[in-house]
Structure 1
Amino acid sequence: MQRRTFLTTLGATAAATTTPAFFGFSPSIGSPDAFTDFALAADDIDTFRDGYPGFVLRYEDADHRDSLEEWLEETETARIHRDLELVNMLAVNMSWADAGRTTTFGIDRYSGGLNDLEYLEYAAADAFLERPEYFEPSDLASQSDVDHGLGIGERLLTTSFGTDSTPDYDGLAFDGDAPTARLREARTLVQAGDSVLEEIDTSSVRVCVADTGVNDRWIYEDGEGESRISPESTDFTGGSDETGVDAVADGDGHGDWVSACILADHDEGHYTGFAPAAELIAAKTLGDDGSGSIADIVAGIELAIDTHADVLCMSLGSPQWAEPIADALADAWDAGVFPVAAVGNDRFATTFVAHPSSSEYAVGINATNVPDSGDRDDTQLSYFGNVGPHPGTQDFSDGESADAKPALAAPGMNIEIDPVGTLSGTSMAAPMVAGAAAVLAAEGYDNETILERLTDCAYPVENFGVTEAEHGLLDVDAALRGYEYEDSQEDVRNDGAEARDRFNRALSATRGGFW
């Protein structure tokens, strides 16, 4: 898959508006080429297991796997805690001394250790990531409650780029613009109403949801009362990788909501999902506290590859780039999986789209309201959804995230699903697009064609900026028919959307982006 024109960036959680102070580098001697920038950033990033820092090691190919394992066995401290053979990775914990770094008088020296392994592509930090914070109905903010809070320097710089230092909020949806909508109303807004979906049999489709798990509910049963939750579903958070429906129970509710949005088969059509006959592969990559390690998330992606999933939904992420996740997603894409990711709910702090929606191989999704009128021309983007273009700086991506934007928008504000509840967030929008991808997969389209149809056939909405939803609003019916609208999203933008695009580009430029 080519690097798309919308180059996705960071995917789903909050961070500070600038890189935290502890991400500074100490003086070093030698060549630390084996380690990613994030791994080198600081010892107090939460990567520790059994008292030692955790790393995800990517080797070149299977021929070098045995050599790496033999080398690890010869060290004093290294322990393998996750084998990720399908994506050429091992997750280990080991001392910095065995890894090849020593520190004397505050000066780091790199010699030997992982640096000597020519077949090792990199050693990345096995940090812990979190799902984006979702919103209960009473949690949505009013316009008076939000502010970009730019510093003096940023205000001056954005003005120098020819735009006001205060973004135009006209066209964004706040609390008063987001009435509660049942799932059917959300589907109907994106042209996936009952009449569109009723002729499509999704029973051949497999959907992997990498999240906090799923609860064994009747909405995931088939016509014979058998669970559509795959016995291959796996809990990667407990250390023993237990499989089965009971193993992936969701104590948080986030993954259960996401799964229901895609796959619920409800007696009341109001709460039926996009693919009510599809099989669900639950990858519990986040614990009930909403956090999970990079290695565990990669294991969830690997499960999608191993089980031949058609679609992967990831409503999770980090403000920092994770090379193992990006590489695993590239492998998933090559294996025919279609990955979808939330862009994050932190527009007025971190601003730019979160990882893994920043990866070239994940489609980043922003959230919208479902307007009272039900008219998609009245649709507004959520005030909280992260935007582009990512500057490609301060996230340790070495520019890989540069220019990333949300690809599409879908309903994600006050969406009610029985019996799992009413939630808001880009986490709620991502499964709408994952559901659409499942519908297209049921029609026999591969992931390349699904991407083309979803983006080329999206519906342009005047309230959307291209830095907020580059291709527009999800349109399932048009994607099924291959119908492309005459106007692009850029063509139809109103003045407020254009002003926000100018602001977002200028703000990106103040942080190292060049547009």
Structure 2
Amino acid sequence: MPECSESRLAGILFLDRTALLATAMLAASTLADAQSTQRGYEKGAGIYTSQTYAIDAAQPAKRSNNGGTTPAEVENSPGVRQINADVLHALGYTGLKVTAAIIDIGIMAGHPEFSGRVRPGYNAFDGSANVTDGNGHGTHVSGIFGAAKDGKGMFGVAYEASLLPIKVLDDRGNGSAASVAAGIQYAVNQRIHYLCPARCSDPNTLVAGHHQFAPFAINLSLGSSSPSDTIRNALIDAVNAGMVVAAAAGNDGRANPIYPARYARDAAANGQIIAVGSVYFDAAGRPQINSWSNRAGDTRDFYLVAPGYQVYSTYPKLNPKTRQYEATYATLSGTSMATPYVTGAVTLIKSGWTYLSANQVSSILFDSATDLGGDGIDEIYGRGLLNLQAALAPIGSLSAPTSRRASLPLTGTSLTGSIATGAALRAAGRAGLMQVAAFDRYGRDFQVDFAPTVSRAASIGNGLAPMLAALDSAAERTYSLDGGTMRVTYRSEATRLALGHQVGGNSGSSEGEFTVSAADTAARELTFGFSGMGAHSFGLGGELARRGEIQFISALENPYLALASRHTHFGIGLPLAGGLRLKFGTLVSDPRATAYDPALSQITGRHQSMGLAEVSGRLASALWTLGVGRLQETDSVLGTTQTGAFSFSGTAETSVVNFGMAFSPASRMTLGGQYTVGHTGGTANHADSLVLGYTDARSKGYGVFASLREAFRAGDSLTIMVSQPLRTASGALQMVAPARAAVDGSPVMASRSISLRPEGRETRAELIYLSPIDRRAKWFLGMAVRDQPDHESTAPRETTIGGGFHAVF
């Protein structure tokens, strides 16, 4: 690039040498590519990035339309893909309602690529609105920035942005510091005019309906080797007005950028001036700095590179016959061509998040650039290659504000539903009710869908579990003690595996899975057990087993007992007058079943306990039981647990009533059933999270059975069971979560009520046949069918067929 003459007022500012060469060739009516000293460029070599960002899990909402294009137009716009601007375009980030000032030679405003988007311009030489480009450089730069995506020619980075053309150089590419400074100051004044009715202290104050005309970015594809206080002062005014300036680094192959790009290093620039160098893409698609591009040097912290070699863009071609300029296209090279890519990037980010400040926008581009050259910021590539896909991704950790104005990190967030609530919570996720707005380091809002973190409801065992439990019960051991009896039922390893319990190892979690019931001659009973076997002692199933009338039947389990995970139980049974019996019991969940909550940075004390009281007796030939209970859960509700931004701290209490009855219509047949219902009181969340709490809820479950003894041979039994696992009938989880960012960037909070009632209703049908082999061994054959398993209305039916044997040695 030619040096400025120090004898002239503040020096003369020249355009890129390669651009002037192309102008001379076009004046002779010959369209040809400007030649560069760089070799090895291959058109369409591809996109190169050093890292890949997944934006589907956390991405901003679609903002605009994508325009119409053709393969040829896309092929002619490789730079858009090389900086990954097409990723933003796909989401509707197009520069709509954002204006950039193109301070240059002017523009061919009548070029179809700018139709309807060119603002009235300014001529810094005479103060008029005449910004005619008699050179081509300004029009070419403008096209790279914002040519329309219309299926013709090529398209720019911000193809729906508005352009404010400001002519500060004559048609030969010459100008003065005074003209450039006047052009910058005009852009500043336009911003102030449209943001504030008068010069105001807050440059980000918006005037409804007019802020889109306030230029946010300035493109300076020009420069000089000499500094100018006049230009510097105008640039500082632009910085103070809340603008981002992208300035060409120059084409002299020097170690440092030229001015005004070199002012980017000044503290007064506040990181809002970006020096731009040029790269080409080699045959392997790798970006390499052009030999003629000035390097980052002492401006490395505020230096980006972008495509600047053989860039195809809009151009005015002089018709020698009519002496009129016609709209066409040309290929030019230089840092002048690289600079509008950065200006376009600034505009796209601003169009996506209008509340971002100029410093935030430029910082996002610096932080997200693809590192080139030496590791980290270096003196050749500075921050690296402009990468809009990375700029679109969250920078820093995402957090979500709560209704109490706290900000919660999203790491470790999960929601685990029980058999009663899991299907409803997953349905809420599918309906978009688990989607919230989260904010990155710069306050940008991203839509984060927590639906994938909602865990599938864990079934209490697979289809084999009830068959194996019946086999375990059939292998019950009975001992005589001083006239009384003691019954012991163990869980076999096969049953533990079917239930999902750990088997083996040193954790102790697979040991001690048994229940004991001891009775004296007065029918007073003491029962206890470990690892969630309370159903063997309570309810209709427990009473039938105690009386020895039938083996344990899983369909008769009180479903609320399973919510006290891996509990230890203890109970006392006493005879009453009139053949009645009274039983009291308690269950406490395994204290080892704790969990770590990253949001609370501590081990949580989630546990459950339940108190039970029941009375049983006979009515004619029927055995009946009536029980009440009180389930208390700490930091969970109906078995639902939450962590991270969904953290829950509180105590939920559920009142439970169950009634069961069994009778024998024939000597070898028993029919019966049990119905259980619960009411959970509303519970407030004492933790500061997105969850406010739970409303009152009702839940229920039932089971019926028919059992035939000696169906085919002595000692065998055939049992048919139909049941519905615990299901929530009413109730809701209450949330207040950020839905989006307001115009000023503040979170817009939205209340949500997520129903706990699942759409489906699981029905289980089971058939089990047990038969002795000898006095020490039994075998079984069974089938289980689950319709709408886990209460998932769309889940396919599950069928399990199994068989096995149990032997005591």
Q: Given the two structures, how large is their TM-score scaled by the length of structure 2?
A: 0.36
What corresponds to 2:13 in structure 1?
129
In structure 2, which of residues 32, 40, 47 is the aligned counterpart of residue 176 of structure 1?
40
Secondary structure at the aligned position of 1:416 is classed as strand
- Tell whether 2:95 aligns with 1:235: no
What corresponds to 1:27 in structure 2?
none
CA deviation map 1:192-237 (0-9, x unaligned): 1266455125221010010010002344445xxxx21111x11113
CA deviation map 1:244-283 (0-9, x unaligned): xxx1110111110111111110422771111112111101
What corresponds to 1:438 in structure 2?
347
Secondary structure at the aligned position of 1:365 is classed as strand
What is the CA distance between 1:405 and its match in structure 2?
Answer: 6.8
For 1:484 and 1:268, how far apart are their aligned partners in 2? 38
For 1:175 and 1:317, how far apart are their aligned partners in 2? 25
For 1:264 and 1:242, how far apart are their aligned partners in 2? 25
What is the CA distance between 1:477 and its match in structure 2?
Answer: 1.6
Q: Given the two structures, how large is their TM-score scaled by the length of structure 1?
A: 0.56
Q: Residues 439, 388 of structure 1: CA spacing in aligned structure 2 closer, same or farther, 3 A cutoff?
A: closer
Larger radius of gyration: 2
Q: Is the 8 A contact 2:123 2:168 kept in 1?
A: yes
For 2:302 and 2:308, how far apart are their aligned partners in 1? 14
Q: Residues 287, 277 of structure 1: CA spacing in aligned structure 2 closer, same or farther, 3 A cutoff?
A: same
Q: Is the 8 A contact 1:318 1:354 kept in 2?
A: yes
In structure 2, which of residues 181, 185, 190 is the aligned counterpart of residue 307 of structure 1?
190
Secondary structure at the aligned position of 1:454 is classed as helix
Secondary structure at the aligned position of 1:217 is classed as coil
Unaligned residue ranges in structure 2 (runs of 5+):
23-31, 46-74, 192-214, 315-327, 398-809
Q: Residues 415, 187 of structure 1: CA spacing in aligned structure 2 closer, same or farther, 3 A cutoff?
A: same
Q: Is the 8 A contact 1:14 1:132 kept in 2?
A: no
For 1:476 and 1:326, how far apart are their aligned partners in 2? 29
For 1:448 and 1:366, how far apart are their aligned partners in 2? 20
Q: Is the 8 A contact 1:409 1:472 kept in 2?
A: yes
CA deviation map 1:58-84 (0-9, x unaligned): xxxxxxxxxxxxxxxxxxxxxxxxxxx
For 2:44 and 2:173, how far apart are their aligned partners in 1? 25
Once structures 1 and 2 are overlaid, which stretch shifts more, 351-360 or 448-457? 351-360
Q: Residues 387, 195 of structure 1: CA spacing in aligned structure 2 closer, same or farther, 3 A cutoff?
A: closer
What corresponds to 1:15 in structure 2?
3
- Tell whether 2:264 aligns with 1:356: no
- Tell whether 2:255 aligns with 1:267: no
For 1:384 and 1:411, how far apart are their aligned partners in 2? 13
Q: Residues 270, 194 of structure 1: CA spacing in aligned structure 2 closer, same or farther, 3 A cutoff?
A: farther
- Tell whether 2:79 aligns with 1:186: yes
CA deviation map 1:401-427 (0-9, x unaligned): xx5676110000011125331010000
Q: Is the 8 A contact 1:206 1:280 kept in 2?
A: yes
For 2:88 and 2:296, how far apart are their aligned partners in 1? 35
Q: Residues 414, 141 of structure 1: CA spacing in aligned structure 2 closer, same or farther, 3 A cutoff?
A: closer
What corresponds to 1:294 in structure 2?
177
Higher relative contact order (CA 8 A, sep 6+): 1
Q: Count how many residue pairs are aligned between Structure 1 and Structure 2.
A: 311
Paired letter, 2:119: S
Q: Is the 8 A contact 2:246 2:342 kept in 1?
A: yes
Paired letter, 1:409: V
Once structures 1 and 2 are overlaid, which stretch shifts more, 331-340 or 184-193? 184-193
For 2:293 and 2:188, how far apart are their aligned partners in 1? 29
Q: Residues 356, 425 of structure 1: CA spacing in aligned structure 2 closer, same or farther, 3 A cutoff?
A: same
Once structures 1 and 2 are overlaid, which stretch shifts more, 212-221 or 180-189? 180-189
Q: Is the 8 A contact 1:128 1:294 kept in 2?
A: yes
> Any residues of structure 2 matched to 1:389-408 within 5 Å, and which?
389-390=297-298, 407-408=303-304
For 2:99 and 2:366, how far apart are their aligned partners in 1? 22
What corresponds to 1:112 in structure 2?
none
CA deviation map 1:96-155 (0-9, x unaligned): xxxxxxxxxxxxxxxxxxxxxxxxxxxxxx43222222255755444xxxxxxxxxxxxx
Q: Is the 8 A contact 2:300 2:381 kept in 1?
A: no
Q: Residues 180, 289 of structure 1: CA spacing in aligned structure 2 closer, same or farther, 3 A cutoff?
A: farther
For 1:236 and 1:307, how far apart are their aligned partners in 2? 14
CA deviation map 1:162-201 (0-9, x unaligned): xxxxxxxxxxxx2233547855311111111266455125
What is the CA distance between 1:388 and its match in structure 2?
Answer: 4.1
Unaligned residue ranges in structure 1 (runs of 5+):
1-12, 21-41, 48-125, 143-173, 391-402, 486-515
What is the CA distance between 1:480 and its match in structure 2?
Answer: 2.0
In structure 2, which of residues 259, 284, 288 is the aligned counterpart of residue 380 of structure 1?
288
What corresponds to 2:136 in structure 1?
253
- Tell whether 2:314 aligns with 1:428: no
What corresponds to 1:208 in structure 2?
101
What corresponds to 2:386 in structure 1?
474
What corresponds to 2:305 in structure 1?
409
- Tell whether 2:166 aligns with 1:283: yes
For 2:246 and 2:342, how far apart are their aligned partners in 1? 7
> Any residues of structure 2 matched to 1:88-237 within 5 Å, and which?
126-135=10-19, 136=22, 139-142=34-37, 174-177=38-41, 179=43, 184-193=77-86, 196-221=89-114, 227-231=116-120, 233-237=121-125
Once structures 1 and 2 are overlaid, which stretch shifts more, 270-279 or 313-322? 270-279
Paired letter, 2:118: I
Q: Is the 8 A contact 1:206 1:279 kept in 2?
A: yes
What is the CA distance between 1:326 and its match in structure 2?
Answer: 1.1
For 1:428 and 1:141, how far apart are their aligned partners in 2? 13
Paired letter, 2:124: F
Secondary structure at the aligned position of 2:101 is classed as strand
